[in-house]
Structure 1
């Protein structure tokens, strides 16, 4: 089945490979996307050009989307600068950004800057796809405690803002026995999912919460327990979206093939699969 990938990281020009992780250009990525039945992709931005990440700024993502209309779309991002947040985001929306992502400023969710971003995003109708960190000073991403209490407060405070959860500390909360220590929150889930997970409660309670199924964080959360994963996909099929988090042509995450296998053997309904594969993304972001 065709797919829309809501989480890609690419460059405009192809850079030489290095011994470390390399990033593919948007053009070079196209055959690989076709192999994976991905017809459209949303590019994640690294920020406004002053980020330590050497690729994928707002300008570069916009260039790619303009060069490949109808194939690539882009989200904008912000550097850790608290001034003129609304004006900056409004400019990026006017330039074609379909959302904010992936938001990765390493501040607590209740920090005034993060709250101002959420308020502006709600006013501008820009969905926010966030990366989460378990604590300030640890890697990157907006920060919440175990159980996601600060995310819940923001889901209440900004009911018209679409929050799209991503990364391991978010998907860790799918299981009712999720541990609260830092190392556990950063580990991929294994084995059966215990009932009573915070994510099920949050999805049940807040219709403005969505899920990015990319990478092995979202993928493991769904595939670790087939029975639970399939029921989770069906229950929240209107708010879950296929994604990969790929950065180059050598990458492939297992969730895409797993979804296809579940569909082909009759365990995943066609209606559910279509929504997750592309319909939800196209509706939420207005892709055409």
Structure 2
């Protein structure tokens, strides 16, 4: 029987997670209720539904699940986008909760509100809103992708409310949204101010900071050069136990592939706080994470932690 290199690599990956090749369901009907305890496939901590920028490319919950079936993604976090800088077409918390209600065995809902929303300004009001969504099943807050400095007082209210409710927050950093400076000093201010809140890092500004030697422009880009010593991510992870990383999007894949030797060592070193993600948000989108994980040579234990176990633990999925 002929088998593609991609299919062969996937079978090896799945075997490393403790499941035999060929066990993943091949149809939507079969895929209706996979068991998280079975240890099969990826848990993707970063996807979206709805429209992002192109109205011709709406991603329905059913289309997302079909894609998940194709790529052995057992469960996926679905993130709303509620800030005007985050997308052309807002994606509401209510739509995410409804999708997860319809597909409870596959989709994991997060919640989000823009910190500038008039009636959500106080910490008490924000806490009440977020707790209401958590009561409906939300497992975290995000994508927090807001056109303010990362530690703006309005942003800090959101962090305080999430800490009070007890859910993690997934954020985006670049030079437009969640704005910071080289060294991520604004993020550090939030980390030390809210030590009981688990932050999940994402976006160009976060992942460019795997390397030292950055200027302000680099925080908004996708550097291709070898990683230089002194990266803020390693520094922050060494000093703050409440910071995690989400490997999604071009920024996440690039951070590892730009310097595979350093990237592999980094994943092994930070194996307990890195999580697999794709940022899949439109039909037909190319996702580099699958090719990256075909190339990476990691111990089975490390691969399993990154691809599913860390998400299960952080999001309390079992």
TM-score normalized with structure 2 length: 0.80
Partner of 1:113: 154
**Which residue number in structure 1 is paired with residue 71 of structure 2?**
36
C-alpha contact (below 8 Å) 1:259/1:268 kept by paired residues: no
- Number of aligned residues: 272
Alignment of 1:139-154 (within 5 A): 141-154=177-190
Q: Is 1:45 equivalent to 2:80 in the alignment?
A: yes
- Map of 2:211 onto structure 1: 175
Matched, 1:125 2:155: no
Contact conserved, 1:47 with 1:76, CA < 8 A, in 2? no
- In 2, Cα distance between the equivalents of 1:160 and 1:55? 29
Pick from 165, 170, 175: which aligns with 2:201? 165
The answer to which of 245-254 and 199-208 deviates more is 245-254
Indicate which of 254, 270, 274 corresponds to 1:240. 274
1:85 to 122, 126, 129: 126
How far residue 95 of structure 1 moved from its aligned partner, in angstroms, is 1.3
Residue 22 (1) aligns with residue 57 (2) = yes
Distance 1:101 1:19 in 2: 21
Specify which of 103, 109, 130 is matched with residue 68 of structure 1: 103
Deviations 1:132-158 (Å, cap 9, x if unpaired)? 132xxx3xx222122111111111111
Quick one: distance in 1 between partners of 2:77 and 2:150?
A: 24
Q: Radius of gyration: which is bigger?
A: 2
Separation of aligned partners in 2, 1:55 and 1:150? 26
Unmatched tracts of structure 1, length 5 or more? none
Check the 8 A contact 1:9/1:23 in 2, yes or no.
no
| Structure 2: 5+ residue stretches without partners | 1-13, 15-40
**TM-score with structure 1 setting the length:** 0.88
The alpha-carbon deviation at position 55 of structure 1 amounts to 4.7
Which string of whole-angstrom CA distances, capped at 9 and with x for unpartnered residues, describes residues 63-119 of structure 1?
000000120011100022124211111111111111111011222223221111111
**Pick from 192, 213, 221: which aligns with 2:255?**
221
